[in-house]
């Protein structure tokens, strides 16, 4: 990927030199860098807020309650996980963080859930279990109720109504989430 970016940058400078538009390229670089910093700072606030909410939910036991509520559904999806497994609460945390649009917060919970699933993997430590593959598919599909990061970026970029993307994002991520589960479960039977 780095080579692609390097190629694009070098190519843009070559064409800017050929077309005598180097000043425009440098100006665009400076403006884009400034915009990137503004977007990053605007993300800090919203990410801190939602990460705090997730931390409070975890500390107060709300996540444990949520995990108990979704446990019957999780046991349908993850049939080979023991009922008292720590993986369920980490999967619930991962799912909650993804649903709130906090992919950065979801990643550590997903990694911890994978580690818990690996502990239960007694057949072959070198091969992912069906539950691991399903979790990976679900996490990659990234179901989102509130696309927090996208809303923050749109807001920082000056969008007039960033909330108008919530319904389309909900529809698309719901379809991709259930498609990931269905495909994972179908391939589970094949392989």
- Structural contact between residues 113 and 87, judged by C-beta atoms closer than 8 angstroms: yes
pLDDT value of residue 96: 78
For 101, residues 6+ apart whose C-beta sits below 8 A from its C-beta are: 50, 144, 145, 146, 147, 148, 149, 150, 151
Q: What is the pLDDT of residues 69-108, one digit of tens each?
A: 777 888 888 888 877 777 887 888 888 778 877 777 788 8
Burial status of residue 191 (CB atoms within 10 A of its CB: 0-12, 13-18, 19 or more): exposed
What is the percentage of the chain residues whose pLDDT exceeds 90?
A: 20
pLDDT value of residue 87: 84
Burial status of residue 32 (CB atoms within 10 A of its CB: 0-12, 13-18, 19 or more): exposed
pLDDT value of residue 115: 92
User: Which whole number is the average pLDDT over 135-148?
Assistant: 85
User: How does the average pLDDT of the chain come out, rounded?
Assistant: 84
How many Å apart are CA 141 and CA 137, to the nearest integer?
6
pTM of the model: 0.69
Banded model confidence at residue 149, pLDDT cuts 50, 70, 90: confident
CA 17 to mean position of chain CA atoms: 40
How many Å apart are CA 40 and CA 47, to the nearest integer?
10
Banded model confidence at residue 112, pLDDT cuts 50, 70, 90: very high
Look at residue 180 and tell me whether its pLDDT is greater than 90.
yes
pLDDT value of residue 135: 92
22-to-13, 17, 58 alpha-carbon distances in Å: 7, 6, 52
pLDDT value of residue 191: 78
């Amino acid at each position: 990927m780095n080579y692609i970016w390097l190629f694009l940058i070098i190519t843009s400078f070559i064409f800017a030199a050929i077309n005598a538009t180097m000043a425009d390229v440098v100006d665009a670089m400076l403006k884009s860098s400034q915009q990137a910093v503004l977007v990053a700072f605007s993300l800090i606030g919203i990410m801190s807020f939602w990460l705090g909410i997730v931390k409070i939910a975890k500390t107060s036991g709300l996540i444990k309650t949520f995990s108990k509520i979704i446990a019957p559904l999780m046991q349908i999806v993850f049939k080979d996980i023991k009922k008292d497994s720590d993986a369920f609460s980490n999967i619930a945390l991962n799912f909650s963080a993804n649903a709130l649009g906090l992919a950065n917060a979801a990643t550590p919970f997903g990694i911890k859930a994978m580690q818990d699933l690996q502990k239960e993997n007694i057949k072959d430590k070198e091969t992912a279990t069906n539950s691991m593959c399903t979790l990976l598919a679900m996490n990659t599909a990234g179901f989102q109720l509130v696309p927090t990061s996208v809303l923050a970026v749109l807001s920082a970029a000056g969008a007039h109504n960033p909330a108008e993307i919530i319904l389309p994002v909900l529809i698309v991520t719901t379809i991709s989430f259930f498609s990931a589960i269905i495909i994972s479960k179908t391939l589970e039977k094949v392989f």
